[in-house]
Structure 1
């Protein structure tokens, strides 16, 4: 195949994956009109329409879906092999894209990688804060980080923290106005600060355990955020009860800025794991980042 046709296939795959000429153009650093012209030329040479375009969206035709499913994995394999060839370089280089939550980014990823990156000036890290369960393959991340060791099929999971535990906390001022809850049913009478999950749009359920009982509490309150850092700030301000990772609040509890309740209902569970596709060739850059996170 002529080189320009190979490049056209790459453009088609990116537009189809992003379902947007705008996002694809931003990713490739070219104009939307140039991408549109490239895809149209590919369609003309093949004699079939690959994409259906409207003013608001881009979708694949049946022929486009077949071509995408056939070509996209092969292009990924080529990219992986090119990354493997880069192993012959003298030092790790390239960009490693990571998706994780805000707390993990601040508490684990930043301090560990900040201590390592100065040794590798050609190694770059792009860190995206996202509370959704990102498909790291589809969204082209190199590493995802989530709680627990349950990851998608064909992934390698590496533990990067010890076991974790949740904590239910509020400020002393809040407890001057409200009686501290003792059991899950008591939470219905409290202002509970909610976390909106982007994956399905619902509020995070408070998952409580004691003596073999598992209780999932759907809480309610005046404040809802999409960030645990914002929830932490609101709890310190007296806005209500917060359900946060224990290591986010231990210093505040020790200093008396927050008070902890229902400790016996908060169980220990598996900690954070970094995961990446097992079929991907492990580049020296990826290995450096994984080893730093594992520390």
Structure 2
């Protein structure tokens, strides 16, 4: 499209939104007669009437409304990006809102954002801890952290971690009183610390896989939590077995306080991703944040 057409479309959008040649001319800094001439030439080139003019009002026609709906948002996005780009003259600023589970925040996001907040001190990062897979768009978040299997086709994603797995753990004191399970169904004889997931409203069934065979076990026990940290701490107290991301348990496995069982049944899953809608109107702070997360992930994969 020629520059002339772009300028004419900008002129038309200003008149259509202001519903006045006078107000639009003042906004654009041109004369009313020049603006009227520009819009008339655009209508002639398109062969369509875009505006209905009376002595008292200016109203878009059906063709005019079509342009407002379908062309207008693109010009708005360009203006947003240009305004955001202008922040580079000074320091990027703004707020980035992210939703993630509490364990992801503790073990994945916080370590990765340390360099970012030092580099861009005027950018605020608001992180909402939630087990529920909230609607990122409806809840007005910029991004969410999801397992690879949870990334939908409507989302763009940046990997944050390599593949991860969930493990079943218990304390040595617990296993002195109870035999170690040799197969997933043995868990039905154990006290298990369970989690209620708000997304589905039910108790999470522990998932296993071996030699291509998937298996879910609906375990039971005296304690139900909605936080993996609470489940881990109860497990450390010897109150039962727990199922959790390995990154949450690895420190305690390394020092001997927790013992892994059923390892051959615990598969690796596609790792965590930073997800955001394809149509996200990337502000400069958010674009910088995504680049930083991608850079950190690439460093991790090469280390």
Q: What TM-score results when the alignment is normalised by the length of structure 2?
A: 0.70
Q: Distance in 1 between matches of 2:273 and 2:220?
A: 30
Alpha-carbon distance change, 220 to 80 in structure 1, aligned in 2, over 3 angstroms: farther
Q: Distance in 2 between matches of 1:278 and 1:93?
A: 22
Greater C-alpha Rg: 2
User: After alignment, is 213-222 or 152-161 more displaced?
Assistant: 152-161
Alpha-carbon distance change, 292 to 168 in structure 1, aligned in 2, over 3 angstroms: same
Alpha carbons 1:197, 1:226 under 8 Å: kept: yes
Q: Distance in 1 between matches of 2:72 and 2:176?
A: 61
Alpha-carbon distance change, 74 to 147 in structure 1, aligned in 2, over 3 angstroms: farther
Describe the superposition over 1:134-183 as per-residue Cα deviations: whole angstroms up to 9, x where unpaired: 10000000011011154233210110000001110001111111111111
Alpha-carbon distance change, 242 to 282 in structure 1, aligned in 2, over 3 angstroms: same
Specify the SS of the correspondent of 1:115: helix
The yes-or-no answer on 1:204 pairing with 2:199 is: no
Question: Residue in 2 aligned with 1:182?
Answer: 182
Q: Distance in 1 between matches of 2:152 and 2:252?
A: 35
Specify the SS of the correspondent of 1:240: coil
Alpha-carbon distance change, 81 to 211 in structure 1, aligned in 2, over 3 angstroms: same
Question: Residue in 1 aligned with 2:278?
Answer: 278
Question: Residue in 2 aligned with 1:101?
Answer: 101
The offset of 1:251, in angstroms, is 2.0
Question: Residue in 2 aligned with 1:44?
Answer: none
Q: Distance in 1 between matches of 2:225 and 2:193?
A: 8
Alpha-carbon distance change, 117 to 191 in structure 1, aligned in 2, over 3 angstroms: same
Question: Residue in 1 aligned with 2:132?
Answer: 132
Question: Residue in 2 aligned with 1:12?
Answer: none
The offset of 1:79, in angstroms, is 7.7
Question: Residue in 1 aligned with 2:242?
Answer: 242
Q: Distance in 2 between matches of 1:177 and 1:151?
A: 41
Q: Distance in 2 between matches of 1:273 and 1:97?
A: 15
Alpha-carbon distance change, 152 to 194 in structure 1, aligned in 2, over 3 angstroms: same
- Calculate the aligned-residue CA RMSD, in Å: 2.4
The offset of 1:94, in angstroms, is 0.7
Question: Residue in 1 aligned with 2:152?
Answer: 152
Describe the superposition over 1:157-214 as per-residue Cα deviations: whole angstroms up to 9, x where unpaired: 1100000011100011111111111111101111111111011211111110111211
Q: Distance in 2 between matches of 1:83 and 1:282?
A: 9
Alpha carbons 1:149, 1:157 under 8 Å: kept: no
The offset of 1:293, in angstroms, is 2.4
Aligned length: 228
Q: Distance in 1 between matches of 2:273 and 2:281?
A: 19
Q: Distance in 2 between matches of 1:216 and 1:292?
A: 37
Question: Residue in 2 aligned with 1:173?
Answer: 173
Describe the superposition over 1:79-99 as per-residue Cα deviations: whole angstroms up to 9, x where unpaired: 855542222222322100000
Question: Residue in 2 aligned with 1:227?
Answer: 227
Alignment of 1:77-96 (within 5 A): 83-84=80-81, 85-90=83-88, 91-96=91-96
Alpha-carbon distance change, 237 to 75 in structure 1, aligned in 2, over 3 angstroms: farther
